[in-house]
Chains A and B, each alone.
Chain A
Amino acid sequence: MSALDSVPTAVSRPELRAGEMLAEGGEGRVYELVGRPGTLYKAYRRPAQLAPLEALIAWEARLAEAQPELAARVRAATAWPQAVVTQPGAAGGTAAGLLLPRAPRRFAVRHRDGTSRLATLSYLTADPGQRAAAYGLALPAPVSADRIGIVYALARVLEAFQRAAPPVGHGDLSTRNILWSLERGPEVFLLDCDSCERYSPDGEALDSGHRRRAMTPNWDDPATPAGANPTLASDRYSLGLIFLRVVGAAHFPLQRRQRDSELLSIDFAIPPAARRTRSLLDGAVVWSVCARSLSTRDPARRPAAAEWVSALEEVLDGLGAMSAARAVWAAQGGGTPAPSPTRSAEQAADVRVRPVAMSGAGRRWERVRPPGPGLPALPQSTRPAPPAAAPTRTAAPAPLPAPPSIVELARTGLGRGGELWLGAHRATLASLSRAGRRRRATRQVIGCLVLDFALLAVIFYMCAMVAGVLLGI
């Protein structure tokens, strides 16, 4: 009997002992299971239809028989449903939840404060300088082999989804549903696979009509009308978007413009280190693959994940980083080099992506350190306007802050002067105590003596002025 014919594994709810709740979302809650450390229990808020879930479990079992190398990728890189959980006495054909594999511990990041959090894509989709300042994380630089490797790992999982028979689409490849790790080389781990959909060869959803599958805002496919389910081509869009955001380490807010039918011209910044890489030069395959992925004109013609796999291998090779690709193979289902990418004659009519030189040093990110407890936080404060002026004054207040008072100026001036005086004397003492720097030390001593003499003269003069007035001279 093949896996296809076997009844998918089903577990009765009372057989499970749910432990700590790990997450809560719109669909349901995810719990640890007592005595089963690698498995999680996802409890749906409302009973779900059993058949599509069983079909997904069977899909993977069938893939394992037909194309074991693709199934190995799915198994290594996704929380693919393992079994349905049924509630005794519930309506027939419904599932109370699912058993899922737990993401390995390496798909987490540790913040500065020591807390461990799921390594979602959000950590990668902004300037790593910001993430370093905010969370104390050392994340790879934009356009580095690590970042490209993560997208490459994702492309390989989607390739498995798309090459299987029937193909499946994830439909919500968003920040929270894709975890990443660099511990053993670049890896991804896809969550929420129970909302995957199987499709017929011509792209028709096989289990459609029974459930709404929403895409996360900002990670959605703009070719899908509002309220409609994502299509098989939506994952192809997501892959292009994720490439831009993860490899470019930036937001790239595109969808709204695309919904407004704007033609997109995307400038992708390449840092100096990668500027000479041939596979990243203007006209390289990866840019046209990216542009075609993001096109909304004819979603069915968006490139398959397999095209990304070979394009990204070429990029990694160009960067001298095939080791990243080999690390992905070793960690996630094995692999061999993909055929060289072939340049498609097709061009996206509505999207253009071109590499440009990264400009400037980027933004500086500083942490905000508030003052100690009990102190007025900052000098900025506002007293109520004087009563006489308030009722009549409707004009905007002065846009500039009030100039500092003379007392403040004098205080800061004296403070600065004192610091300079102390610094000069310290430097002189340091020079004197160090052998071999006699000439410089002599110069500094003379400088200090002149400075002190001048200061003494000024102080004497001021004292004399005050004393003169007091004594009536």
Chain B
Amino acid sequence: MVNVEERYAVFPFYLCLDASASMAGTPMESVNRQLPLLRAAVGEDPAVAEVIRFGVVTFDDVAHTTLPLSDLSLVEAVPTVVAAGRTSYAAAFDHLRQTIEDDYHASRGKGDRWYRPAVIFVSDGRPTDDRERWQSAHSRLTDTGWKRHPNILSFGFGDADPAVLAHVSECKPHRAFIAAEGAEPATVVPELLAGLIQSIVSSSASVYSGEAQLVPPEVPSMTPIPVDELD
């Protein structure tokens, strides 16, 4: 039976953004300039906004939900992100797992169906917590026994370590990307967010075809990390 209550399944996107002290200045200014553009590009188009849910998680010593997972057409403004502290990947992964689980149940309560969530992980540095800690948090997030485990696309610049990013994206091909050495954040960040807009719009079109696909952002100044770089 089909009725007016039945809606398209939604495609949740989480931008998981490194907001550690190293992101202060140009990179964060760039993020804060670009996020409102993303909100407008996705939110002001009802055909795109309808099937996309977007949230922002930032992390430094701790992880915050900066923008709760939302229908961007209903979001008035994107909060400003401030950079401070260290780079705890463990906090990010733990927070994502909890947030995805909570958001999923809240959405189900409102009658929404979900495609597998996508996480766009962006970092300019290496994890400051020890390897075991962030890796175990990562394995909880990517645990295939957990039905909501997301697809993770990771993007690095600055001091980000390609091997670590490859791990974050579970060593899957064309999921981890790194900026060329010496690439300016002032170039990389706007490109990345413009790519993210395109990725969301293209992915939303695929939702309507009934077979949702996560279309990776195209970022000209970044290259895919070969899978075998993991040590």
- Interface-lining segment among B1-9, B116-124, B219-227: B1-9
> Contact between B208 and A218 (Cβ–Cβ < 8 Å)?
yes
A176 in contact with B3 (CB, 8 Å): no
Check if A250 sits within 8 Å of B4, measured CB to CB.
Answer: yes
In the complex, what distance in Å separates the CA atom of A365 from the CA atom of B73?
11
Q: Are B208 and A120 in contact (CB under 8 A)?
A: no
Residues of the B chain whose Cβ atoms lie less than 8 Å from the Cβ of A264: 2
Instruction: Report Cα–Cα, A130/B161, bound state, in Å.
Output: 43
Q: Measured between alpha carbons, how far is A365 from B71 in the docked complex, in Å? A: 10
Contact indicator B210/A123 (Cβ below 8 Å): no
Please indicate the chain A residues that have their CB under 8 angstroms from the CB of B102 in the complex.
399, 401
Residues of chain B within 8 A (CB-CB) of A437 are none
Q: Are B62 and A382 in contact (CB under 8 A)?
A: yes
Interface string of A373-397 (1 = CB under 8 A from B): 1111110111111010011011011
Whether a CB of chain B sits under 8 angstroms from the CB of A413 is no
Partner of B46, one of A131, A255, A269, A397: A131
B4–A249 CB distance below 8 A: yes
Residue of A with least CB distance to B68: A378
- Contact mask for chain B residues 132-158; partner A; CB cutoff 8 A; 1 contact, 0 none: 111011011001001000000000000
- For B137, the chain A residues whose CB sits under 8 A away are 384-385, 390
Give the chain B neighbours of A358 by CB distance below 8 A. 4
Q: Does B170 contact A (CB under 8 A)?
A: no
* Chain B residues numbered 83-124 whose CB sits less than 8 Å from any CB in chain A: 88, 90-91, 94-95, 97-99, 101-102, 105, 110
Q: Is A102 an interface residue (CB 8 A)?
A: no
| A248 interface residue per 8 A CB criterion | yes
CB nearest to A121 among chain B residues: B47
Q: Is the CB of B95 within 8 A of A265?
A: no
A460 at the interface (CB under 8 A from B): no
Cα–Cα distance between A378 and B49 once the two chains are bound (Å): 23
- B183 interfacial contact with A, CB 8 Å: no
Given A254-B2, A373-B80, A383 contacting B74 (CB threshold 8 A): no
Complex interface: chain B residues within 8 A of A216 (CB)? 208
Contact of A250 among B6, B136, B146, B210 (CB under 8 A): B6
Whether B66 and A384, one on each chain, are in contact in the complex, defined by CB atoms closer than 8 angstroms, is no
Q: Is B99 in contact with A380, judged by CB distance below 8 angstroms?
A: yes
B93–chain A nearest beta-carbon distance, Å: 9
Closest residue to A365 on the B side, CB-wise?
Answer: B74
User: Which residue among B46, B64, B68, B208 has the maximum number of chain A CB atoms within 10 Å of its CB?
Assistant: B46
For residue A133, CB closer than 8 A to chain B, the reply is yes
- How far apart sit A294 and B47, CA to CA, in the bound complex (Å)? 22
B62 and A381 contacting across the interface, CB-CB below 8 Å: yes
Instruction: From A367, A382, A393, give the contact of B63 (CB < 8 A).
Output: A382
Chain B residues 1-43 with CB under 8 Å of chain A are 1-8, 43
Instruction: Output the nearest chain A residue to B32 by Cβ-Cβ distance.
Output: A373
- In chain B, what residue has the closest Cβ to A176? B47
Q: Which of B5, B74, B77, B146 contacts A366 (CB 8 A)?
A: B74
Report the minimum CB–CB distance from A19 to chain B (whole Å).
23
Query: Interface size bucket, A side?
Result: 35 or more
Q: B218: CB under 8 A from chain A? A: no
Chain B, interface SS category? mixed
Q: Any chain B CB within 8 A of the CB of A434?
A: no
List, in ascending order, chain B residues with CB within 8 A of A453's CB: none
Q: Mark A112-151, 1 if CB is under 8 A from B, else 0.
A: 0101010010110010001101110000001000000000
Could you tell me if A369 and B76 are in contact, using CB atoms closer than 8 angstroms? yes
With contacts A376-B64, A377-B66, A396-B146 taken as known, whether A253 is within 8 angstroms of B97 at the C-beta atoms is no
B65 pairs with A377, CB closer than 8 A: yes
Contact call B88/A368, Cβ cutoff below 8 A: no
Query: With A and B bound together, what is the CA distance between A100 and B103 in angstroms?
Result: 47
Instruction: For the complex formed, measure the closest distance between the CB of A122 and the CB atoms of chain B, giving whole angstroms.
Output: 4
The interface residues of chain A, by DSSP majority, are classed as: loop
Q: Verify if A217 is at the interface (C-beta below 8 Å from B).
A: yes
Q: Which residues of B contact A117 (CB under 8 A)?
A: 44
Pick from B1, B73, B74, B97: contact of A265, CB below 8 A: B1
Please state if B6 and A253 are interface contacts (CB–CB under 8 Å). yes
The reply to whether the CB of B67 lies closer than 8 angstroms to some CB of chain A is yes
In the complex, what's the smallest C-beta–C-beta distance from B76 to chain A, in angstroms?
5
Does A363 interact with chain B (Cβ within 8 Å)?
Answer: yes
Q: B79 to A371, Cβ gap below 8 A?
A: yes
Contacts of B97 in A (CB 8 A): 396-397
B77 close to A370 (CB less than 8 A) = yes
Q: Which residues of B contact A373 (CB under 8 A)?
A: 79-80
Q: Are B47 and A396 in contact (CB under 8 A)?
A: no
Task: Please state if A255 and B91 are interface contacts (CB–CB under 8 Å).
Answer: no
Query: Once the chains bind, are A133 and B74 in contact (CB under 8 Å)?
Result: yes
Q: Does B70 count as interface, using CB distance less than 8 angstroms?
A: yes
In the complex, A373→B82 CA distance in Å?
A: 8
Determine how close the nearest CB of chain B comes to the CB of A13; give it in whole angstroms. Answer: 30
| CA gap between A115 and B45 in the complex, in Å | 12
Task: Judge if B205 is at the interface, Cβ distance under 8 Å.
Answer: yes
On chain B, the residues within 8 Å of A401 by CB distance are 102
How far is B88's CA from A367's CA once the two chains are assembled, in angstroms? 31
Decide: B205 and A397 in contact? CB cutoff 8 A.
no
A148 to B77, CA, bound (A): 35
| Interface presence of A257 (CB below 8 A) | yes
Contact, CB under 8 Å: A266 / B129: no
In the complex, A193→B52 CA distance in Å?
Answer: 30
Complex Cα gap A251–B50 (Å): 10
Which residues of A246-288 are within 8 A (CB) of B?
248-257, 264-269
Q: Given A381-B63, A381-B65, do A122 and B46 touch, yes or no (CB 8 Å)?
A: yes
Find chain B residues with CB under 8 A from A381 CB: 62-65, 95
Answer whether residue B191 sits at the interface, using C-beta atoms and an 8 A cutoff. no
Interface residues of B (CB under 8 A from A): 1-8, 43-47, 49-50, 61-68, 70-71, 73-80, 82, 88, 90-91, 94-95, 97-99, 101-102, 105, 110, 129-130, 132-134, 136-137, 139-140, 143, 146, 205-206, 208-210
28 contacts between A and B (CB under 8 A): A126-B50, A130-B73, A133-B74, A217-B205, A218-B210, A253-B2, A265-B2, A267-B3, A368-B74, A370-B77, A374-B82, A377-B64, A381-B62, A381-B95, A382-B63, A382-B91, A382-B94, A384-B62, A384-B129, A384-B133, A385-B133, A385-B137, A390-B137, A391-B132, A394-B136, A396-B97, A396-B101, A397-B94
Ranked nearest first, the 8 interchain pairs of A and B with the lowest CB-CB distance are: A382-B95, A218-B208, A134-B73, A217-B209, A373-B80, A250-B4, A384-B90, A370-B79
